[in-house]
Amino acid sequence: MLFSSGYAAKVATLCTLGRKIPNLVILSDKFNHPSMIEGIRNSKSAKLIFEHDSMTDLEAKLASIPVSQPKIIAFESVYSIYGSIAPIDRICDLAKQYGALTLVNEVHGVGIYGRRGGGITDHLDWSSPESTQLGVVPRVDIIVGSLAKAFGNIGGYVVGSAKFVNILRSFALEFKFTTTLPPHVIAGATAAVELLKCDSSQRIAHQHAVRKTKLLLRDLDIPVISGPSHIVPVHIGNAELANAITDKLLVEDGIYIQAINYPAVAVGGERLRITPTPLHTDESIERLGSLLTAIWKELKVPTLSECVKGSEGQDRDRWESIKQIWTDEQLMTKTSD
Return the active site residues: 149
Strands 71-76 and 46-50: unpaired
d(CA 5, CA 33): 14
In eight-state DSSP terms, residue 140 is -
d(CA 47, CA 24): 8
Give the count of alpha carbons within 13 A of 133, CB side only. 1
H helix and E strand count, the chain: 12, 10
Residue type, 175: F
For helices 55-63 and 88-98, the axis angle rounded to 10 degrees is: 10
CB 22 within 8 A of CB 46: no
d(CA 11, CA 166): 17
d(CA 296, CA 221): 10
